[in-house]
Amino acid sequence: MFALLRIFNKVVVQQFYQLNAGFFLVVFFLAFGIQQPPTMLVSPYFLTGAVTSSIFIFSVLGVFLLYYLKCFNFLLKTIRAPENEYLFITSLFPRRILWLSLGLTHLQLFLPALVYTLLISYYGLLTAHFWVIWVTTTYNLLLIFFTILYFHHQLAQTIPEKAIKNIFTSSEKRILAPPVLWPLRYLLRQEKVMLGLTKILSLGVLYAFMTLYPYPQYDLRPTYIGFLTAVITQAMLVQQVQQFQETALSFWRYLPYAHWQRFTYQVILFTLLLAPEIILLFRLNFNPAAIISLIFLVTFGISVILLLYTLLYLKLNRETYLKWVFFIYIGLLLFLLLHPPLYLLTILLFLLAYLLYYRNYYVYEQ
Amino acid sequence: MLTFRGFRKYFGDNLILAIPELTVPAGIHWIKGQNGSGKTTLFRVLGGLIPYQGDILLNQSINLQAQPLLHRRHINLGEAAPLYPGFLTGTELVNLFSQAHKAPADQAATLIKYFNADYLHQPVRAYSSGMLKKLSLMLAFIGQPSLILLDEPLATLDTATVELVYNLMQEYNSKHQTSFLVTSHQDSQMTQLPLTATWLVQNQTLTQLSDS
């Protein structure tokens, strides 16, 4: 059993936490970094009151379901990856051992959410809200059993034929046909969960900033900060796009495109990636007086995302990249609070991004 | 055709290839070498996929590193292990390469017919290794390049397709003066080509073995 568990740990658990270090950093920052101590999500004061609310409990479970989908998707992608085909051999283990290993793998992936549900249960016990314990325990048991049964089935059988046949839809082909949009097709096909979760997070943050702060029409700074935060949450998607371009689309390198053409393609790509945030921005603050400012804000957001993208051509490792993203975010956040001329900042960021791209694209090597 | 001056390629601190001074004339060249000798690295350098130190000139006028656009307009690459996103179709890739290289209108259709590639409407994920190789060869012949690099073009191809590739190489060479650098471990098959010279990648450098 230990041999099996060791393989699952190395192939699944360690990879999951390494690849999602940035995600956890962002979530940690949003959950704890910008909260006052009394409203901090783990403070006894907050939890004692919160467990009395069924809306809070079910909202937490809803959010953790999204996190579960992320874990589930990662596990599924890992066991279906061509380099992990050998994992079919695990189905030869006795069922008890395989189930136990899958269960422990699930617990390790789901650990952050599990700890929080245990904390909620504890405060449910303290405040005599026993239904909270019942709901969270049932919820966790259902998830763990579903993981075990589903992945046991996956490991014991060959990939269903429909998974191969169902890789092409005419509508997607029609809409995302231009080569510049192929990375979006990749995200929609192979990184659905990451894309979905990032968009939920970024749209949620933007919505919160634009609706919770008073008088958004008169003071655009909350909107600015909300949009900047929404753009920064795309950092991991940007990294996925760059990785995809440098592996599966590496042949782009030997196509005769000038620097400016390649850069323009990235501008188009990231503008479309930000389309949901841009639509929400205008939807929530469609005010003729603010329209020019919002257009500047959108171009500013595109310049920020391009900077995040071109930074990757400096051959930064994941940790260094995330540090850069964090410092850029904090720097721009402070800058926005000073209400600077946004167009000037946008031009500077575009120039910086283009310079980085121009200098590093052809000397970049994975 | 190709002139190397002080060329060096490192991976980290390891020197993979060094070619101090060398000229490869126009024609069809066979590049030999053992596994791991650096043939594919040389091709990836010449194809513009990875950076290097020193200078490589094409036709004495195009510095590959300093003029990336001209470089890519004049040199096409058929990779040893082509990799494309599984969700794309061959048709989409052919269209992209045709547009990027500003290829003559009927060239792609002619190549598809020539290689009998009636499967290109399917997603790449459904291709066998031979079908994928055929696709990468078609893409390498798109446009009007001065030099085509073919890294192990014969691997995984059936005999009939090998014959087609040979004929096409000779046609491009005679009609358009396109030069070829070809790596292959299939010695017996390579001798069927009208080779200009044979080269060996060994001891971290490229040396000429023989003239035709």
C-alpha distance across the termini of chain B, in Å: 17
pTM (predicted TM-score): 0.77
Q: Which residues of A192-224 are buried (b: 16+ CB within 10 A; e: fewer)?
A: ebbbbbbbebbbebbbebbeeeeebeeebebbb
| Chain B residues whose beta carbon lies within 8 Å of the beta carbon of residue A254 | 47-49, 72, 75-77
* Chain segment A312-350, per-residue pLDDT in tens: 999 888 888 888 998 999 999 998 888 778 899 999 999
* Chain segment A10-41, per-residue pLDDT in tens: 889 998 998 887 777 777 776 666 666 666 77
User: Is A320 in a helix, a strand, or coil?
Assistant: helix
- Give the pLDDT band (50/70/90) at residue A164: very low
CA distance A234 to A306: 11
CA distance B32 to A344: 56
* Chain segment B67-117, per-residue pLDDT in tens: 888 888 999 999 988 888 888 899 989 998 998 888 998 999 999 999 999
- Give the pLDDT band (50/70/90) at residue A165: very low
C-alpha distance across the termini of chain A, in Å: 36
* Chain segment B45-75, per-residue pLDDT in tens: 999 888 999 999 999 999 988 888 888 899 9
Report, as an integer, the average pLDDT of B35-41: 91
Q: Structural domains in chain B?
A: 2-84+146-211 (3.40.50.300)
pLDDT value, residue A215: 67
Instruction: Give me the sheet containing B179-183, strands edge to edge.
Output: B75-78, B147-151, B179-183, B28-32, B197-202, B205-211
Q: Give the mean pLDDT of chain B.
A: 91
Domain-wise residue ranges, chain A: 2-167, 173-360
Picking from A175, A254, A260 by the largest number of B CB atoms within 10 A of its own CB, the best residue to mutate is: A254
CB neighbour class for B51 (10 Å; exposed up to 12, middle 13-18, buried from 19): middle
- Residue A122's contacts (CB-CB under 8 Å, 6 or more residues apart) are none
Instruction: Give me the sheet containing B62-63, strands edge to edge.
Output: B14-24, B2-11, B53-58, B62-63
pLDDT value, residue A33: 65
Provide the shortest C-alpha distance from residue B212 to chain A (in Å). Answer: 30
Q: Which residues of B73-107 are buried (b: 16+ CB within 10 A; e: fewer)?
A: bbbbbbbbebebbbbbbbbbbbbbbbebbebeeeb
The string of DSSP letters for A340-362 reads: --HHHHHHHHHHHHHHHHHHHTT
Given its phi and psi angles, is residue B127 left (phi above 0), alpha (psi -120 to 50 degrees) or beta? beta
Cross-chain CB nearest to A253 (options B49, B76, B87): B49
The string of DSSP letters for A84-124 reads: GGGGGGGGGS-HHHHHHHHHHHHHHHSHHHHHHHHHHHHHH
> In this complex, do A168 and B83 lie within 8 Å of one another by their Cβ atoms?
no
CB neighbour class for B116 (10 Å; exposed up to 12, middle 13-18, buried from 19): exposed
CA distance A362 to A359: 8
* Chain segment A170-188, per-residue pLDDT in tens: 666 667 778 888 999 999 8
Q: Which has the closest alpha carbon to B28: B144, B168, B162, B206?
A: B168
pLDDT value, residue A75: 92
Cα dihedral A85/A86/A92/A98 (nearest 10): -80
Picking from B88, B95, B128, B144 by the largest number of A CB atoms within 10 A of its own CB, the best residue to mutate is: B88
User: Which of A53-57, A209-213, B20-24 has the highest average model confidence (pLDDT)?
Assistant: B20-24
> In this complex, do B83 and A167 lie within 8 Å of one another by their Cβ atoms?
no
Picking from A164, A187, A255, A359 by the largest number of B CB atoms within 10 A of its own CB, the best residue to mutate is: A255
Cross-chain CB nearest to A254 (options B47, B85, B92): B47
| Chain A residues whose beta carbon lies within 8 Å of the beta carbon of residue B47 | 253-254
Residue with tokens 């937490």: A60
- Tell me if chain B has a CB within 8 Å of the CB of A357: no
- Give the pLDDT band (50/70/90) at residue B18: very high
With contact defined as beta carbons under 8 Å apart, do B78 and B178 qualify? Answer: no
Higher pLDDT, A338 or A215: A338
* Chain segment A87-109, per-residue pLDDT in tens: 877 877 888 888 999 999 999 99
Pairing status of strand B197-202 against strand B205-211: antiparallel
CA distance A228 to A157: 46
Which two three-digit tokens encode residue B153?
């073009």
Q: How much is the ipTM here?
A: 0.76
